[in-house]
Structure 1
Amino acid sequence: MQQEVRFDPVQTHRTFEMVCQQIRAKLASGELRPGDKLPAERLLASQLNVSRSAIREALRSLEVAGVVHMVKGIKGGAFIREGTPDRMSEVIQDLIHLGAISLSDLTEARIALYEGMLPMVCERATDADLAALAANVATLEAAIRAGETAQRPHLAYGFYHLLGECSHNTAIIYLNDSLARILLEYTLLLSPQQRVPASDLLASRRRFLKHLQARNAQKAMEELRRHLRRTHRALWEGR
């Protein structure tokens, strides 16, 4: 059974922010974990010595931030969410739309990430990890032969997701996923003619996979760097 989590009374003119702060503190301390249900709105208001409207405002804020999700019904309430890179992707994408991060910044960040990640991948990737990447490349080849252009961007996201998992580092997996998800959104805006040619993409994937299977991080990075820069040019010209 989940142990009861109690909260301290809040006294401030910015009440809902302090409520959010206390809930985040319970997460940081481990008293609250993903999947846990927060106390009912009335009980939270009583424990924190705040109004129920302040509780509702705090829960809305935490829901937007991706910390909790609200479930309706008799067994509903506010539940702590499982961690996902979705919110991270949204924040970075908003910064790009607002002009705070450029596409060049995004490409440089991805290259820097993979430069640090690929030595780790070459050291830690299992045979099953590499087989999953090979299967993705085989699916890409089949899609290209069948003329299924709509599938390519999603296979690309899947490829980078699998590559991140090869690191066996959760922080890297989440960061990699968030950047790859942003790239997917931009790639979907391009027409098939604006993307990197299918034959070039497939050849690059095969070379990269060959270097990875040989555990040669330097050669793999050289190949990936060339591809990412070519992808950047396609995105920039397609804007």
Structure 2
Amino acid sequence: MRVHETVMQWVTEELASGRLHIGDHLPGERTLAETLKVSRNSLREALRVLEALGALHTSTGTGPRSGTIVTAAPEQALSLALSLQLATRQVEPHDVLQVRLLLEAWAAGHSDPARGDWAPLERILDRMDDGAIEVEEFLRLDAEFHVRASRAADNPLISTLMDALRIAIFDHTLARAQRLPDWGATSARLRHEHREILDALRHGRGAEAAGLLEAHIRGYYLETSERSPADGHPVGAPEPGA
């Protein structure tokens, strides 16, 4: 077992037992190396790996936020893995589309108005209404809207997966936006659809919201894929039998 796996196993066991909690500091480097019977150099390398994966956060200096702290942010590791898979084409954009449709439609259909964080969602849409907003910022807020909207469902794993997809959603929608002849018309349509989705979610019309989300997501991909023959796959096209 590699050292970072040994450290992660120890952290996992400590969390499961209740001896360690998210936000707690790990023991000092010397103590932890002795506990795990690894060299301090190997331990440092392992901690760097786990920090990149979002499991830990390390800060130098003094004070309550210094040292190595358990963060347990799995979406960071999932996002990194997804970005690598997209870069190497092990996962294609249409695969992301299908996962989005599954996750977002399910989350909308199982949403609870009492769980929704509606005020921040309203503020996101208000910022997107700014006529001077750049395309990049608009689509960054668009991705944030979709991630936050999914949290109205009582399933933290869905929220984690949506957080992991955030960068992929932003990157791909931005790349496709360059192909649109009239961004103003498209953005106006997207803003209108977001308002409809939000209204349905906050008033408990989950099934309606799920349908609106599916049409909204497919609509953007269809609109951009019509102008992107180089993709080799009509990313927004419905699957056979859909």
Instruction: Give yes or no for TM over 0.5.
Output: yes
Cα distance in 1 for residues equivalent to 2:43 and 2:76: 25
Counterpart among 168, 193, 204 of residue 204 in structure 1: 193
CA contact (8 A) 1:161 1:177 kept: yes
Counterpart among 67, 85, 94 of residue 104 in structure 1: 94
CA contact (8 A) 2:193 2:212 kept: yes
Q: Partner of 2:13 in structure 1?
A: 25
Deviation at 1:151, TM superposition (A): 2.9
Counterpart among 157, 164, 179 of residue 178 in structure 1: 164
Q: Partner of 1:224 in structure 2?
A: 213
Q: Aligned pair count?
A: 223
Deviation at 1:150, TM superposition (A): 3.9
CA RMSD of aligned residues (A): 2.9
Q: Secondary structure of 1:85's partner?
A: helix
Alignment of 1:68-147 (within 5 A): 68-74=56-62, 76-83=66-73, 85-121=75-111, 124-126=112-114, 129-141=117-129, 143=130, 145-146=131-132
Per-residue deviation, residues 178-207 of structure 1 (Å, max 9, x unmatched):
223321122334555536811221232233
Per-residue deviation, residues 64-122 of structure 1 (Å, max 9, x unmatched):
2221122112554322125362332222121121222111111111111122211221x
Cα distance in 2 for residues equivalent to 1:59 and 1:146: 43
CA contact (8 A) 2:197 2:213 kept: yes
Return the letter of the residue paired with 1:228.
I
Shift in CA distance, 210/55, structure 1 to aligned 2, threshold 3 Å: closer
Shift in CA distance, 50/228, structure 1 to aligned 2, threshold 3 Å: same
2:49 corresponds to 1:61? yes
So what's the TM-score if we normalise by structure 1?
A: 0.77
Counterpart among 28, 35, 40 of residue 47 in structure 1: 35
Structure 2's unaligned 5+ residue stretches are 232-242
So what's the TM-score if we normalise by structure 2?
A: 0.77
2:154 corresponds to 1:164? no
Cα distance in 1 for residues equivalent to 2:37 and 2:207: 59
Structure 1's unaligned 5+ residue stretches are 1-11
Deviation at 1:127, TM superposition (A): 9.0
CA contact (8 A) 1:164 1:177 kept: no
Q: Secondary structure of 1:197's partner?
A: helix
Identity value in percent = 26
CA contact (8 A) 1:20 1:59 kept: no
The structure that has the greater radius of gyration is 1
